[in-house]
Amino acid sequence: MSLLTIDGLRAGYGAGDVLKDVSLHVDEGECIAVLGANGAGKTSLLRAISGLMARSAGALAFGGQALPAEPCRVAARGIAHVPEGRGTIPGLSVEENLLVGAYLQKDKKQIRRDVDEAFARFPVLQRYRRRQAVQLSGGEQQMLAISRALMSHPRLLLLDEPSFGLAPKIVSAVYGALQGVLQERRIAVVLVEQSAELAMRAARRAYVLKHGKVAGTGNAAEMLHSDELRQMYLGRDAERA
């Protein structure tokens, strides 16, 4: 069943639309990849979904109801956004960052369980729980940003280039943990990545954005293993990205 449906989305930063016509859907518990060159509109798409960017046209439905435009209402509906460049609050400790992610959760025992779960998933976060987020390495900050988003028990997670700037070993750790959580909790994901290979291994389907429009879509495994499809959908743009 479709969890998020986007039909004819247009959005921009004031001087013309950056997203010119985007239609896609994400099923319950499904991970989709959004690929495309620099400037294709991937980050803008996530921002338009979470309400951080004004939508000028299009219909967005989430869980069968219209998706609100205000970021706090979108979050309350169960969409968590891990932005580009991580989403941690630099001056707060690791533990405080996690608690911020639980701001809608009223049950204190549940919050404690969720913090413990985050620590079990990424033991390094427990070790550094009193350190300020700014003192963490890039990989640790990414682990914290994802853990913080999971604290809100989202139905949909928006991830903007979680592998950006990380060493391959750290990328594997982050993706390994992420896939574990997604399977356990059946969270749906919109995964934006520069690396098509990486994203398509994690996702079931992929959409390719080009100049603010969906240029192609398909089954991720088929796209990954077909030279023809890779060339057609990703071509040189993906290499440049």
Ligand X SMILES: Nc1ncnc2c1ncn2[C@@H]1O[C@H](COP(=O)(O)OP(=O)(O)OP(=O)(O)O)[C@@H](O)[C@H]1O
The 3 state secondary structure assigned to 49-83 is HHCCCCEEEEEEEECCEECCCCHHHHHHHCEEEEC
Residue 203, phi then psi, degrees to nearest 5: -100, 160
8, 23 Cβ separation under 8 angstroms = yes
Place of tokens 């209402």: 73
Pick the closer one to ligand X by CB: 39 or 176.
39
What is Dmax (Cα atoms) for the chain? 53
Among residues 6, 32, 42, 154, the one that binds ligand X under rule CB under 6 A: 42
Calculate the dihedral angle through the C-alpha atoms of 39, 200, 196, 88, rounding to the nearest 10 degrees: 60
Give the shortest CB-42-to-Mg ion separation in angstroms.
5
Q: How many residues of this chain bind Mg ion (CB under 5 A)? A: 2
Distance of alpha carbon 184 from alpha carbon 182, whole angstroms: 6
Tell whether residue 18 is a contact of ligand X (CB under 6 A).
yes
Q: Under the criterion CB under 6 A, does residue 239 sit at the interface with ligand X?
A: no
Contact 33, 175 (CB under 8 A): no
199 binds ligand X (CB under 6 A): no
| Chosen from Mg ion, ligand X, none, partner binding at 39 (C-beta under 5 to 8 Å by type) | ligand X
Position 38 contacts ligand X (CB under 6 A): yes
Task: Name which of 61 and 241 has its Cβ closer to ligand X.
Answer: 241
Q: Counting contacts by CB under 6 A, is residue 178 touching ligand X?
A: no
**30, 40, 43, 189: which one binds Mg ion (CB under 5 A):** 43
According to the binding rule CB under 6 A, does residue 162 interact with ligand X?
no
Binding status of residue 65 toward ligand X by CB under 6 A: no
- The residues binding ligand X (CB under 6 A) are 13, 18, 36, 38-44, 194, 241
